[in-house]
Each structure stands twice: as C-alpha cells, then as structure tokens.
Amino acid sequence: MDKKITEEDVIKIAKLAKLELTKQEISRYSMELTEIIEYVQKLNTVKTTGLDPTVSVNGLCNISRSDQQIDYHQTPASLLGNVPRVKDNFIQVKRVIE
C-alpha cells in the first residue's frame, strides 16, 4: 500500500494543527512523515481480532470526585498573570470573525 504523505496532505494537516510551513518545510515534512508512517505500517499486518483497544493501561475506572468546591489556592490574578493581553479581567484576543 502506498502510504506517501503528499505535500497536499502536509498542507491540510498543518492547517488543522495551526502551523505555518515554508515551502521547504512542506517538502521536508512530506518526506519525514512518509518515512515514519511507512515504518508504522507493520501494525496493519498484525491480527487483532477479538481484542479491544486499550483505554486505561493500569485498569482504573470510575475515578471521580464528590461534587464539592475545591480551593486550589489560586487567584484570578495569578491565572491572568500569564495572559498576554487582559482587559477588564477578560482575556483579550484578536477579534473572532464568524
């Protein structure tokens, strides 16, 4: 099976991942991704009938907390402290165009 990751694929994925790639990068990622995806192709030769995908490697399930307020000892100021632009306690971002 041909598993070449074309430059078009790379452009499409970069768009999904919000990355801006130069022409050279697009061509390089096309090669690198192809190399890696070809390497992992051997998974498709493995018989896995009757097996479920792993969802919890250490077998835990039903881990939850009770519905109580938790004081994490954080102030809004400490959280907003890392925000590049704050306006009236809001996080300011470039305008969202619908």
Q: What are the residues binding other proteins (CB under 8 A)?
A: 5, 9-10, 12-14, 16-21, 29, 32-33, 35-37, 39-44, 46, 48, 51-58, 60-74, 76, 78-85, 87-98
CB nearer other proteins, residue 27 or residue 90: 90
Q: Which helix (H) or strand (E) holds 12?
A: helix 7-16
What is the C-alpha to C-alpha distance for residues 56 and 58, in angstroms, rounded to an integer?
Answer: 6
Q: Which is nearer to other proteins, 27 or 39 (CB)?
A: 39
Residue 78 Cβ, how far from other proteins at the closest point, in Å? 4
Q: CA–CA separation, 16 vs 10, rounded Å?
A: 10
Record the tokens describing residue 23, joined without a space.
């022409």
